[in-house]
Amino acid sequence: MVSRFVQCIAGCLILTTMFVAVGCSSGGRTQLRVLQASPDETAINVLIDGKTLVGDVGYATPTNYASVSDGSRHLQVEPVGSTTPVIDETVTFNRGTNSTLITANAAVSITPILLTDNTTAPSSGDVQLRFVNAGLAAGDVDIYVVQPGIVPGGVPPTIGSLTFESASGYQSLTAGTYDIFVTIAGTTFAYIDAGPLTFSAGENRTFVVVSDQLGGYSLVTLSDLN
């Protein structure tokens, strides 16, 4: 009798432990990285639900992904040395996704660009490229992803008239070497001539047009997959 009683108690404890474990793991997770793209803003701290997720994020230097609970979260961005948020809003993160937060525009009117990153592998032999226009005062831009030796105007833009603070969809291209040009929309005047750049099959990349702090524009590359 005692032996059966002990076995029963042990079984109950095991079941209780299982229920507690399930309860503790019921919340999902997501991943968030940050790119500070406001050229006249200081370094920033990013807070989720009042706690610092990443701190001292410098200009045009992306962070690694950090783990965040999914669902509705309170997002705040504060300049380093200040407790006054320049971004303060509620956002929703979907379970199992990767996201990128880009802080764009001038410091006096800084705005968030929150993107869901594609972590699905492209078709065999391909790459997937996405572009974001965070270039302050750049206006609408055309994006050319072309074989080396081809110049803007020789072919239609890969992405036409990408407006400020907007992102393109992912473009599927055969892996290989390309030149990337960013021009004033509708013209061949190039803000950026980046290349040659070589992409390996299976890569997903996001390119962000940012304003250089001393004038001009450049591309920041984010690795979404591989």
Instruction: Based on the fold, state whether residues 213 and 146 are members of the same structural domain.
Output: yes
Last residue of a domain, which of 96, 117, 138?
A: 117
Q: Which of 124, 147, 133 is nearest to 203 (CA)?
A: 124
What's the chain's Rg over C-alpha atoms? 23
pTM, 2 dp: 0.87
49 and 139, same structural domain? no
CATH number where 135 lies: 2.60.40
Residue 11 lies in a domain: no
Distance CA(208)–CA(165), nearest Å, equals 10
Q: Residue 222 in contact with residue 208, Cβ under 8 Å?
A: yes
Place of tokens 């030796």: 149
Residue-level pLDDT, tens digit, the chain, 226 residues: 444 433 433 444 333 333 333 333 346 899 999 999 999 998 999 999 999 999 999 999 999 999 999 999 999 999 999 999 999 999 999 999 999 999 999 999 999 999 999 999 999 999 999 999 999 999 999 999 999 999 999 999 999 999 999 999 999 999 999 999 999 999 999 999 998 999 999 999 999 999 998 899 999 999 999 9
- What is the number of domains present in the chain? 2
Is residue 109 domain-shared with residue 149, that is, in the same domain?
no
Q: Are strands 98-104 and 29-36 parallel, antiparallel or unpaired?
A: parallel
Task: Mark which of 99, 117, 135 sits at the end of a domain.
Answer: 117
Alpha helices in the chain (DSSP H): 2-24
Domain boundary, last residue among 71, 86, 117: 117
Q: Containing domain of residue 37, as a range?
A: 29-117
Burial class (CB in 10 A: 0-12, 13-18, 19+), 173: middle
**Together in a domain, 96 and 141:** no
